[in-house]
Chains A and B, each alone.
Chain A
Amino acid sequence: MIAPHGGAVDPTRWLHLDWILLVIVAWLLIGVAGVFALRRLTLVARVLFPAGGAFGLLLFGVALNSVWSSPAVAVLPIGLPSLPFHFRLDSLSAFFLLIIGGVSAGVSAFAAGYFRKGEGTPPGLLALEYHVFLASMALVVLADDAYAFMVMWETMALSSFFLVTANHRIVEIQRAGYLYLLVAHIGAIGILLCFGVLQANTGDYTFANMRAQALSPFWASVAFLLALFGFGAKAGIVPLHVWLPEAHPAAPSPVSALMSGVMLKTAIYGVLRVFFDLLHTPLWWWGLLLLAIGLATALFGVVFAAVQVDMKRLLAYSSIENIGLLFAGIGLTVLFSAYGMQPMAALALTAVLYHVASHAFFKSLLFVGTGAVLHATGERNLGKLGGLIRSMPWVAWVTLVGVLASAGLPPLGGFVSEWLLLQSFLFAPGLPSSVLDMLIPVVAALIALVGALAGYTMVKFFGVIFLGQPREEKLVQARDAGGWERLGMAWLVGGCLALGLFPVQFIALIDPVTTALVGAGLGETVDDSGWLLVPVAIERSSYGPAIFLLGVAASFALAFLLVRVLYHGRLRRAAPWDCGYPWQNARMQDTAEGFGQPIRQIFEPFFRMERELPTPFDAEPRYRVSVGDHFWRWLYLPLARAIERLASLIGLLQQGRISVYLLYSFVTLIAVLVVVKQ
């Protein structure tokens, strides 16, 4: 027994929570072992990371089992005196632990082959930071009081900050890390204040107490806004998204994979925990606000992703888009549950949780894929890649699965969540307010537009990196990923495919969570025959990805066979045709800038563009375009300037002469005396 339990439990039997705490302790021990093997790369890579991955797998298995079990609690007598850590494992935490375990298993295996000798943080220290990061994420979703939550939340932010700045000698990475740390802490203030409101002057910071409080609508709304700000900063909603496109390219790829795939989801966890569990009576305008912010974030993210030329920045913006979709889904859930339409709320929440899982898997896969490309070529810039499907076929085909999932195409996981989300929008008419009714089609249209733009972005991402001719000579010699990297990627691909093909089985895991949060689940209706996903009724809508895949595959095979049987399979290789233009080289392919050009033109007001165009008379024509973010110019820079001005005003107090400081003390003393006298 690791933890004492409430109630009479057989002390020799290990409960789910014990197993999970065991995994967390194991992760911490692996991290500590890393400190003793600071510069021994082989030991760290071949023993510590695989061991971490194995414990991730164990966590995945335990969480899979505990989704259906009733909540278990534990109190650990560590921390401050009379302020122990409370932990609680319910279906919501179990669902997120499932994702943390599942994704980290794949990413750890990949990391075993990824980290090489080089500059920056020594491998042993990386192992420590990495495993502390994993453990703190797991503890965040387990925490059952504000104190434990904040401690874990901060540990998570700090350990990931050190991971982001692994190559800390590079100035851009230092800046990116600083920005990340700054936004993370401003967000943490929001969360802290939110908990302060939630405990409603009782002085008891356990979640159980917060759940028991019935806040007035005003204070509930204050708590809602603070939580939205705090968790939104972590998740990267507009306008708090600025750290994402800086931090993700700076971090080593497995870390970006974990941050984007899992850490952003802890913010979603926080949002769900606060909105549906601690604040149990949502108001309708919260939903509207969330919907608006979510859609703005999604559209902003995808439009910016489409014009990026750095592959990891592109993925970071795509994460912003997905977070936006998640917030829109949460908004819809809030809206439905505020009007007491529990089955619809359950449908929307199922879509959200499904997307949480599928985004976790496909985005981690894409990030580790870029890691493999980065290692093989040393290039992150799309303009210097190309044609890698021939030298790195394994990575290319595996990434293609992630790309298809990310583009929201059937029969993969990304489509299922988009499908469920659109279903919940379609069934939305029936809201009591006709104005809200009118909004629903507009919102559905925007979601469809975002989904289609994601397809555009992903075609660009895959096409420019892996297809075409190599844009640099060295790319021909690029080596495919090694064994550990392949193992990790194969696990993540397996996750993407399973989420795509078995939605009914996966929704069975989501059902307990929606039942706990909004009081309804899709339940039995989903499973018509085990193969069809039927959210409401078979006449209304159904989707069978396995049949779907089988249909395409069967037509593929039939067409292939019939052509061979009726005609022939003769093939000849020749130079590309290209309308017979003889002078072709790799530079004439569309570049990443070129592929993004239509988007730049159509969505021009979104960008702050600076262009230098060549004139016909230039001896060496140069073309330069930089695409910036309006938020920097109109929000962050003025804010930074205002803070600097304020700081310099406060700085006036600091005269550096002892007599002045004595004067301050004297004046303060007098003031205090006056106050006390009264």
Chain B
Amino acid sequence: MTWLGVFSQLLEIVMALLLAPLLGGWINQCRAWLQNKSAPGLLQPYRMLHKLFNKESVLAEHASPLFRGAPYIVFGCMALACAIIPTLSTDLPLSPAADAIALVGLFAFARVFVSLAAMDVGTSFGTLGARREMLIGFLAEPALLMVLFSASLISKSTSLTTIVETLAHRELTIYPSLAFAGVAFTMVSLAENARVPVDNPTTHLELTMIHEALILEYSGRHLALLEWAAHLKLFAYSCIGLALFFPWGIAEAQAPVTLLLAIPALLLKLAIGGGLLAVLETLSAKMRIFRVPEFLATAFLLAVIGMLVHILVRA
């Protein structure tokens, strides 16, 4: 563990916490442009968080401590996830604590807590949301794991830093397995981050909600933390995608100067990625809830095919 490592670790966490809402704002803006609407300001998510933090929290009468603790747990999980994904540098002291499998476990941990919290108050929409969230989760989680495994097979490691280092150093050839994994990953990320076509982040119709139904009973600072955690999750997923499929520009332990270059590289990649997500969301329509398992099963199979292709091509 070097001082530079500690510094890049801290830089990464702080940057994730600060930049994550901006990414959300940027996507909303792109989408508004594409849909010919006037866009809210780029900083709108920050204003939103600030407003929510200032408001008092209204809690259901019989809500248990689990309900109050869940937003902090979910926020903590997402912050840790952003800390272990190599976004700026691969020299991260925290990264050996959790590899790709543990990262998926971390997301699952957050999901279980947010679902349990939604069931805690015992309203019809809350439990409905919990059920749907777990439904998406049980298909998306193995699919994400298979995507990460495809990359693991190439680099013969499940450690995220090793994966990124290996992938960044390969010649500019297309791995067929990564192509499959990329498609699968896009589908999984859409589902996991409650985007169209699986869920609609701007919906106001309760019966179609998934993520919004989960957090329906939250208000004030608890809601703010959950919203922030959702931004962090999108940021984390984007960074996983960039790290797996576009790893160029991430600094390595041997080259401290590149850390400075890594920040603009990341911003550029995120801006392009966010724009593409907005295009994707504009072009597709939300699907019925029972189409979602098919959608995710497709992603799961694609990821498995990706792994098989890797073994076939190598053999």
Q: Are B116 and A543 interface neighbours, CB within 8 A?
A: no
Instruction: Flag A532-549 by CB within 8 Å of B: 1 or 0 each.
Output: 100000111111100110
Q: Given A441-B149, A540-B157, A543-B98, A578–B216 Cβ distance below 8 Å?
A: yes
Q: Given A459-B115, A570-B57, A576-B60, A468–B120 Cβ distance below 8 Å?
A: yes
Among A440, A540, A594, point to the contact of B131 (Cβ < 8 A): A594
A434 contacts chain B at the CB level, 8 A cutoff: yes
Q: Given A407-B112, A445-B300, A469-B122, A453–B138 Cβ distance below 8 Å?
A: yes
A566 contacts chain B at the CB level, 8 A cutoff: yes
C-alpha gap A576/B180 in the complex (Å): 45
Complex: chain A residue closest to B128, CB-CB: A590
Chain B residue contacts of A595, Cβ below 8 A: 127, 131
A25 contacts chain B at the CB level, 8 A cutoff: no
Chain B residue contacts of A579, Cβ below 8 A: 125, 206, 216
Q: Are B59 and A567 interface neighbours, CB within 8 A?
A: no
Chain B residue contacts of A458, Cβ below 8 A: 112
Chain B residue contacts of A445, Cβ below 8 A: 142, 146, 300, 303-304, 307
Most chain A CB inside 10 Å of its own CB: which residue of B57, B61, B96, B124? B96
Q: Are B315 and A409 interface neighbours, CB within 8 A?
A: no
Chain B residue contacts of A555, Cβ below 8 A: 75-77, 79-80
C-alpha gap A460/B315 in the complex (Å): 43
Q: Are A449 and B138 interface neighbours, CB within 8 A?
A: yes
Interface on chain B toward A: helix, strand, loop, or mixed SS? Answer: helix
C-alpha gap A400/B117 in the complex (Å): 13
B230 contacts chain A at the CB level, 8 A cutoff: no
Chain B residue contacts of A547, Cβ below 8 A: 94, 97
B56 contacts chain A at the CB level, 8 A cutoff: yes
Q: Are B56 and A544 interface neighbours, CB within 8 A?
A: no
B191 contacts chain A at the CB level, 8 A cutoff: no
Question: Least Cβ distance of A34 to chain B in Å?
Answer: 40
Q: Are A576 and B123 interface neighbours, CB within 8 A?
A: yes
A219 contacts chain B at the CB level, 8 A cutoff: no
Complex: chain A residue closest to B292, CB-CB: A598
B121 contacts chain A at the CB level, 8 A cutoff: yes
A584 contacts chain B at the CB level, 8 A cutoff: yes
Chain B residue contacts of A451, Cβ below 8 A: 141-142
Q: Given A441-B307, A469-B62, A559–B72 Cβ distance below 8 Å?
A: yes
B272 contacts chain A at the CB level, 8 A cutoff: no
Among A437, A469, A532, A590, point to the contact of B130 (Cβ < 8 A): A590
Q: Given A452-B137, A538-B96, A544-B98, A408–B149 Cβ distance below 8 Å?
A: no
A9 contacts chain B at the CB level, 8 A cutoff: no
Complex: chain B residue closest to A462, CB-CB: B116
B139 contacts chain A at the CB level, 8 A cutoff: yes
Instruction: Flag A444-462 by CB within 8 Å of B: 1 or 0 each.
Output: 1100110111011011101
Chain B residue contacts of A552, Cβ below 8 A: 73, 76-77, 80, 106, 109
A84 contacts chain B at the CB level, 8 A cutoff: no
Among A452, A463, A551, A574, point to the contact of B108 (Cβ < 8 A): A452
Among A455, A539, A568, A572, point to the contact of B59 (Cβ < 8 A): A572
A675 contacts chain B at the CB level, 8 A cutoff: no
Chain A residues 370 to 426 lying within 8 A of chain B, measured CB to CB, are 386-387, 389-390, 393, 400, 404, 407-410, 415, 418-419, 422-423, 426
Most chain B CB inside 10 Å of its own CB: which residue of A409, A427, A538, A551? A551
Q: Given A423-B158, A576-B121, A590–B131 Cβ distance below 8 Å?
A: yes
B119 contacts chain A at the CB level, 8 A cutoff: yes
Complex: chain B residue closest to A567, CB-CB: B53
Q: Are B76 and A410 interface neighbours, CB within 8 A?
A: no
Question: Least Cβ distance of A622 to chain B in Å?
Answer: 20
Chain B residue contacts of A571, Cβ below 8 A: 56-59
Question: Least Cβ distance of B311 to chain A in Å?
Answer: 5
Measured as residues with beta carbon below 8 angstroms from the partner, the interface class of chain A is: 35 or more
Q: Are A543 and B102 interface neighbours, CB within 8 A?
A: yes
Q: Are B131 and A589 interface neighbours, CB within 8 A?
A: no
B66 contacts chain A at the CB level, 8 A cutoff: yes
C-alpha gap A84/B116 in the complex (Å): 56
C-alpha gap A453/B77 in the complex (Å): 21
Chain A residue contacts of B59, Cβ below 8 A: 571-574
Among B57, B72, B77, B116, point to the contact of A560 (Cβ < 8 A): B72
Complex: chain A residue closest to B144, CB-CB: A448
A442 contacts chain B at the CB level, 8 A cutoff: yes
C-alpha gap A442/B75 in the complex (Å): 33
Chain A residues 192 to 209 lying within 8 A of chain B, measured CB to CB, are none
Q: Given A452-B139, A556-B73, A468–B119 Cβ distance below 8 Å?
A: yes
Q: Are B123 and A572 interface neighbours, CB within 8 A?
A: no
Instruction: Flag B132-145 by CB within 8 Å of A: 1 or 0 each.
Output: 10110111011001
Chain B residue contacts of A559, Cβ below 8 A: 72, 75-76, 79, 225
- What would be 24 A-B contacts, judged by CB atoms less than 8 Å apart? A389-B66, A415-B105, A419-B105, A427-B156, A441-B307, A448-B146, A455-B108, A459-B119, A460-B134, A541-B157, A541-B159, A544-B96, A551-B94, A552-B76, A555-B76, A555-B80, A556-B73, A559-B79, A563-B225, A570-B220, A575-B60, A584-B124, A590-B131, A598-B290
Q: 19 new A-B pairs (CB below 8 Å) besides A427-B156, A552-B109? A: A387-B122, A408-B105, A419-B101, A441-B311, A451-B141, A459-B112, A463-B119, A463-B130, A467-B116, A469-B62, A555-B76, A556-B75, A559-B76, A571-B57, A572-B58, A574-B58, A576-B217, A577-B60, A584-B123
A-B complex: 6 closest residue pairs judged by Cβ atoms? A468-B122, A590-B127, A555-B76, A448-B142, A441-B307, A469-B122
Interface residues of B (CB under 8 A from A): 53-54, 56-62, 64, 66, 72-73, 75-77, 79-80, 83, 94, 96-99, 101-102, 105-106, 108-109, 111-112, 115-116, 119-128, 130-132, 134-135, 137-139, 141-142, 145-146, 149, 152-153, 156-159, 162, 206, 216-217, 219-221, 225, 290, 293, 300, 303-304, 307-308, 311-312, 315
